[in-house]
Structure 1
Amino acid sequence: MAPVSTPRGPLVVDAHHHLWDLSVRDQDWITGSALAPLRRTFTERDLRAETVPAGVAATVLVQTVTVADETPEMLATARDSDLIAGVVGWTDLTSPGIADTLAALRAQPGGEHLVGIRHQVQSEPDPGWLLRPDVRRGLTAVADAGLAYDLVILPHQLPAATRAARDLPQLTFVLDHGAKPPVASGGLEPWAAHLRAFAALPHTAGKLSGLHTEADWHGWTTRDLRPYADVLLDAFGPSRLMYGSDWPVCTLAASYGRTLETAGELTEALSPGERAAVLGGTAVETYRLGERLARRAAPVAVT
């Protein structure tokens, strides 16, 4: 894959962020004093205030709740935005009518921005949830629709994700947040071994995202994250790893700007082409964001 770049540096795509409006619906996962900073509305305008100074050219908006109405709302937001290039939405994978639902989402205004589907697998008590026949049928429908499937899972769910991906080579699986490794405790195994097994499948990809919110929010350093980032880079390679901020969740541990700067530090040993892939090119390729991104205003280079 050729790197996406501009005369001023790599095209930066934030491949993972969220938006929500508490006046529309509650985010029932935002509980307790630690998450209190997130208990407010985050709009596209708020996102723009963070991304424009950081030189981000485009973003991918990702679902937060398992509510069918959220995905059409996100597609409408993307339709009206020159910043949001793709949407990873939610629909019930176990529904017998999932193919029709996906077709209806693609047909509605803004539906061309739908690039993937995600479910909160991390909250499923069954570690083999991804292997259920009804889930497999749903994943097949996602593949048939030409969409990717984002995996938000925990380390112990990686083996089931690997089996599901092995059984469905026609579907691109995108691993969010590295399956949330135990950064705070400093442990690598068995997470790293399971991660490498998943990444060994050529139709998988990963996101360099969410690592610092798995660390000590108030005392982490880039050095704490580097062992995990290095495993991700080695396992997926730059052509299958993409940067994501996980904004606004990232603000629990760092500002938007520091989150992007940290990604730059974690990829500083790469060649310019490899770095361009992680910071933007892989997202463009994986989510099929299109040539329109290259025509957008040139972002500043990450240093």
Structure 2
Amino acid sequence: MIVDTHLHIVDQSALSYPWLAGAGALNRSFSYDDYAREARRLGITASMHMEVDVAAGDIEKETDYITGIAAREGSLIVGAIASCRPEDKGFAAYLESIRSRSIIKGLRRILHEMPDELSESPMFRENIRRLAGTGLTFDLVVLPRQLPKAIALIDLNPDVQFVLDHCGVPDIKGGGLEPWRSHMTEIAKRPNVVGKLSGIVAYTDLETWTLESIRPYAEHTISSFGFDRMIWGSDWPVCTRAGTLSTWVGATYALLEGCSKEEKAKLLSGNANKLWDLKVS
């Protein structure tokens, strides 16, 4: 069984995605039905939708859209990580408005394409602190040079549960092991952070990457966090830039060759079930 904690659905007829204008082959719609057809064949039995950085005015509309898909009979979607703007004064009201929505399991603010100092603003830090005690997680997507800033945010919020996306966004194509490796070792020392094995094929040479080119990054992430604090995500459709959903699932199993059945079960489904109380069987 696999719980996919990082699925993006893109519907340009329903929502606005300003960033897609410069996203090349990703600048089109990617439907839930196309994802689900392949996912079921691969043993993915449940999925968490990850916000797709829609226009600010469409944030709550995206949640409504995903709620509708989740309500379909037999839908794989069991939860959603919603977009947010912790740097805004309206965050507190937004948080209050969504806490009753059972579909929302956590929040994310894109940081790796934003100014480095965004997460250091007093308003941002104050608003992240509001997540303590809510049961909502906060996903971090940061560049290697931003990992120390992520660590600072985590240290200020020991009662907030964080999830580090995409193995810390390593520069695999450029062979950038350091300082990424050292920063990952450090961030994993924080018990309120979970690592996510996702997205790394997007940071390779998309045409020539191999299992061995991604192995050092996946293995260091897993060894740093341990199998009790790792979850898995497809990052579909971004992963299709470097293959298919099947390609990434196959690579994941190859990376986990030699691991115990129990270790694989924790990373692929058990930890996600526990983290968000998904009750997926």
TM range (shorter): over 0.9
Alpha-carbon shift at residue 263 of structure 1 (Å): 0.8
Paired with 1:83 and 1:253, the residues of 2 have a C-alpha distance of 24
Q: Deviations over 1:160-188 (max 9, x none)?
A: 10011011111111011112101112221
- The AA in structure 2 aligned to 1:121 is L
Paired with 1:56 and 1:222, the residues of 2 have a C-alpha distance of 21
> Which consecutive residues of structure 2, in runs of 5 or more, have no partner in the other structure?
none
Of 85, 90, 97, the match for 2:78: 85
> Which consecutive residues of structure 1, in runs of 5 or more, have no partner in the other structure?
1-10, 295-303
Equivalent residue, structure 1, for 2:249: 260
Check whether the contact 2:87–2:118 (CA below 8 A) recurs between aligned residues: no
Alpha-carbon shift at residue 95 of structure 1 (Å): 3.4
Alpha-carbon shift at residue 15 of structure 1 (Å): 1.0
Equivalent residue, structure 1, for 2:207: 218
Paired with 2:189 and 2:213, the residues of 1 have a C-alpha distance of 25
Alpha-carbon shift at residue 79 of structure 1 (Å): 3.1
Secondary structure class of the residue paired with 1:233: helix
When the two structures are aligned, how many residues end up with a matched partner? 276
Q: How does 1:141-156 map to 2 (within 5 A)?
A: 141-156=130-145
- The AA in structure 2 aligned to 1:92 is R
Secondary structure class of the residue paired with 2:106: strand
Paired with 1:239 and 1:14, the residues of 2 have a C-alpha distance of 17
Paired with 1:98 and 1:36, the residues of 2 have a C-alpha distance of 32
Secondary structure class of the residue paired with 2:44: coil
Equivalent residue, structure 1, for 2:16: 26
Paired with 1:262 and 1:27, the residues of 2 have a C-alpha distance of 29
Secondary structure class of the residue paired with 1:122: coil
Paired with 1:141 and 1:203, the residues of 2 have a C-alpha distance of 15
Higher relative contact order (CA 8 A, sep 6+): 1
Alpha-carbon shift at residue 130 of structure 1 (Å): 1.7
Identical positions, percent: 33
Check whether the contact 1:117–1:142 (CA below 8 A) recurs between aligned residues: no
Secondary structure class of the residue paired with 2:102: helix
Equivalent residue, structure 2, for 1:73: 65
Q: How does 1:228-239 map to 2 (within 5 A)?
A: 228-239=217-228
- The AA in structure 2 aligned to 1:76 is G
Of 87, 109, 113, the match for 1:123: 113
Check whether the contact 2:79–2:104 (CA below 8 A) recurs between aligned residues: yes
Q: Deviations over 1:123-146 (max 9, x none)?
A: 221x23222211112111223321
- The AA in structure 1 aligned to 2:191 is P
Check whether the contact 1:103–1:145 (CA below 8 A) recurs between aligned residues: no
Alpha-carbon shift at residue 75 of structure 1 (Å): 3.0
Secondary structure class of the residue paired with 1:30: helix
Paired with 2:6 and 2:207, the residues of 1 have a C-alpha distance of 22
Of 235, 240, 262, the match for 1:246: 235
Check whether the contact 2:87–2:121 (CA below 8 A) recurs between aligned residues: no
Structure-2-length-normalised TM-score: 0.93
Moved over 6 A (4+): none
Equivalent residue, structure 1, for 2:38: 50
Q: Please, what is the CA RMSD of the aligned residues?
A: 1.6
Equivalent residue, structure 1, for 2:27: 39
Of 109, 123, 126, the match for 1:134: 123
- The AA in structure 1 aligned to 2:195 is G
Q: How does 1:141-220 map to 2 (within 5 A)?
A: 141-220=130-209
Paired with 1:143 and 1:266, the residues of 2 have a C-alpha distance of 34
Check whether the contact 1:102–1:145 (CA below 8 A) recurs between aligned residues: no
